[in-house]
Structure 1
Amino acid sequence: MAAAKIHVDNTQVLEALNRLVQQSGDLSEPLQEIGEYLVESTKQRFATKTAPDGTAWKGNSPVTIDRKGRDDALIGETTQLADAIFPNVSGNTLEIGSTRQYAAMQQFGGRRSDFAHLWGDIPARPFLGLSDEDEDVVLEILSDYIANE
């Protein structure tokens, strides 16, 4: 998997993770549960066309519409990318990502001047990351594990 890293720095989440590590030392089970939730949350962003911070994705440009002859789904919006989102738990680390080569272009965008194969600039349409709601759910999952240790 090509890696583009997004680091989440939420004090409450980190404190809860540290408490759980101190109690059990093994985060694999809660991280797997969090990963499964985040995959579904990430897939939902494709349906709502919104970034983790709640901002709407930019629509197709006139160049794209002209080239395709219609204004159809946004590039990367099809289920091909959404269905290729997966969690990977390794030790006490959780990664959410995709093996699709164009996932980084969807997340970060790209300029035609940097990628000659593009017919125009591609705006960033972020799908990876934690929304406020995601952070609340992650804290709830961690709290449940802490309470049961």
Structure 2
Amino acid sequence: MITISVTNNSTQVLDVINQLQQRVQDTAPVMRKIAGIMADQVEQAFADEADPATGKKWRTFSPSYLQRNPKRSGGQLLQDSGQLASSIQNEYGPDYAAVGTNKIYAAIHQFGGLPGMKPGPAAIPARPYLGLSPEGEQEIIEIVLGYLGGGL
């Protein structure tokens, strides 16, 4: 709870503070925008074939993988069927913004895997597609500051 005393009975100051309190009670509009930015960052990661947080390109297919799967030569990474990219969903509420997928194999592509792990015998390099670039982070900061300042 915030308590502010104004000695000169300034209703203008109290009105502005009351407006601020009302805005921070309903953050769903800002969370909706944040979820949208996060989803855009994932979409861009698939397009760039790069970690959205660092910009580092994903590791390409290994020669042994391409020998076993020649149809993948020249193909886009993580988009054999397009199901992973198209499964990305965002949601938001009064106090959260989230982006993710329900694909069971999604985590191994995000974090990588070691030989002997499921789903198969080969090591799978991490190809992070979830995350925020520095530009995305700045965009979120600007949205929050704009929201607190009365924008949106």
With structure 2 as the length reference, what TM-score do the two structures score?
Answer: 0.75
In the alignment, structure 1 residue 123 sits paired with structure 2 residue 125: yes
Q: Structure 2 vs 1, CA of residues 119 and 126 (structure 1 numbering), >3 Å: closer, same or farther?
A: same
2:36 match: 36
2:136 to 114, 134, 137: 134
Query: Which has the larger Rg?
Result: 2
Q: Measured at CA, do residues 133 and 140 of structure 1 come closer, stay the same or move farther in structure 2, by a change above 3 Å?
A: same
| Structure 1: stretches of 5+ with no match in the other structure | 1-19
Number of residues paired by the alignment? Answer: 129
Distance 1:21 1:92, change over 3 A: farther
Q: Gaps spanning 5+ residues in structure 2: where?
A: 1-19
Root-mean-square deviation (CA, aligned residues, Å) is 2.1
CA contact (8 A) 1:76 1:106 kept: no
More RCO (CA 8 Å, sep 6+): 1
- Aligned equivalent of 1:92: 95
TM-score (norm 1): 0.76
Pairing 1:1-149 to 2, within 5 Å after superposition: 23-51=23-51, 52-70=53-71, 71=73, 72-76=75-79, 79-115=82-118, 117-148=119-150
Code of the aligned partner of 2:129 = F
Check the 8 A contact 1:38/1:96 in 2, yes or no: yes
For 1:42 and 1:137, the matched residues in 2 are separated by 15
